Amino acid sequence: MTSPQRALIFDMDGTIVDNMAFHTKSWLAFFESRGKVIDPDAFFLDTAGRQGHEIMRSYLGEDVDHVTLNAEKEALYRELYGPHLAAVPGFDALIAKAAAAGVKLVVGTAAPNENIAFTLDGLNLRSKFDAIVGAGDVARGKPNPDVFLAGAERAGALPENCIVFEDAPLGVEAARRAGMRAVVLTTTLPASAFAEFDNVICIAANFSELDLDTLFASAPAATTI
């Protein structure tokens, strides 16, 4: 009897790369140019993991040209973050070990294709993944589970055999709704921000603190290291 297919599903922004501060800066500048002052902490909690068009409509109204506006905002983000592009420590080693063990590797992100290319191609990571699911592939952003369920399906893995890596509460909630365990990286928020989630199996500062075998052996109960 063959073992069930296992998969690791990675959020991209704030997880593969520690870039959320640059997204926030670009959002604040975008809204400031339109006379809107946004509280950065509240904005992150409300939006991290949501798709750009969802954020635009929520903050600017249903009738805005969200395609043009989102392209403007994301171009600003890439300009700000470009000089700092780097993977979170330990990421390359973890995915290499996973691939060697036959674990499928998936990206599940709310980012548009331009940002996916900017990050994954900029770091020469695209070929490392078995599947990439972005904003253009699903109708709804996080906390809906769509992106993670699509990633699991493309990897040929059942939700219970997937582990999601996230940095934001909306993303962890999306994993919970998908029936998946989650690992939280504290690149953006402290561990206390995830205390309510019963699907979190580990909280770590970066990937170098994680052991693949231990993660798959973990039950969905919060553990902090």
Cut 0.95: pTM above it: no
Whether residues 59 and 144 fall in one domain: no
Range from 46-50, 98-102, 107-111, 112-116 carrying the lowest mean pLDDT:
46-50
> Are residue 107 and residue 25 in the same domain, yes or no?
no
Whether 7 contacts 14, CB under 8 Å = no
Provide the domain limits for residue 138. 7-18+86-217
> Are both 49 and 115 inside the same structural domain?
no
Read off the DSSP letter of residue 13.
B
Chain position carrying tokens 């493309």 = 154
Q: For residue range 121-145, what is the model confidence (pLDDT) as tens digits?
A: 999 999 999 999 999 999 999 999 9
Reply yes or no on whether 213 is catalytic. Answer: no
Under a CB-based contact definition with an 8 Å cutoff, are residues 181 and 163 in contact?
Answer: yes
In angstroms, rounded to a whole number, what is the distance separating the alpha carbons of residues 89 and 75? 26
pLDDT tens for each residue of 10-59: 999 999 999 999 999 999 999 999 888 889 888 888 887 788 888 888 88
Q: Are residues 98 and 192 in the same domain?
A: yes
In angstroms, the CA 67 to CA 126 distance is: 25
